[in-house]
């Protein structure tokens, strides 16, 4: 279920970037590895390169620029827009590590 949700997120993001040239232009030249650690599941990683997500894989990232830590229920709630990232952060159901710029990338991923 999580793998399908992540694949859907990648597809949705790439489709959004394809249809919104401003989004893609904003991300040109940015190359990041995003790690997703689900505390009750496993770890995943995906790469952001030239405005597209690719390379979704199960397992820990060798070197992540942005790390998202949460449980699978909260993560699915974020993807389904049942809970907002700010609320999840405030209730400590979500933690994000990375630079400020990389944290701001998260808003694009969940758009």
pLDDT at residue number 105: 75
CA atoms within 13 A on the CB side of 47: 10
Q: How many residues does the chain have?
A: 111
pLDDT at residue number 61: 92
pLDDT at residue number 22: 85
Tell me 31's DSSP state. E
pLDDT at residue number 73: 96
pLDDT at residue number 110: 65
Count CB-CB contacts under 10 A for residue 37: 20
CB 9 within 8 A of CB 79: yes
Fold of 2-109: Nonspecific Lipid-transfer Protein; Chain A (3.30.1050)
pLDDT averages per 10-residue partition of the chain, 111 residues? 92 91 85 95 93 93 94 94 91 93 76 58
pLDDT at residue number 111: 58
């Amino acid at each position: 279920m999580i793998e399908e949700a992540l694949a859907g997120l990648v597809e949705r993001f790439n489709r959004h970037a394809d249809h919104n040239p401003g989004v893609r232009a904003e991300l040109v030249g940015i190359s990041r590895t995003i790690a997703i650690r689900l505390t009750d599941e496993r770890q995943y990683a995906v790469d952001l390169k030239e405005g597209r997500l690719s390379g979704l894989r199960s397992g820990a990232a060798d070197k992540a620029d942005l790390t998202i830590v949460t449980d699978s229920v909260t993560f699915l709630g974020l993807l389904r827009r049942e809970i907002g990232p700010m609320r999840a952060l405030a209730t400590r159901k979500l933690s994000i590590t990375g630079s400020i710029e990389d944290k701001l990338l998260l808003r694009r991923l969940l758009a």
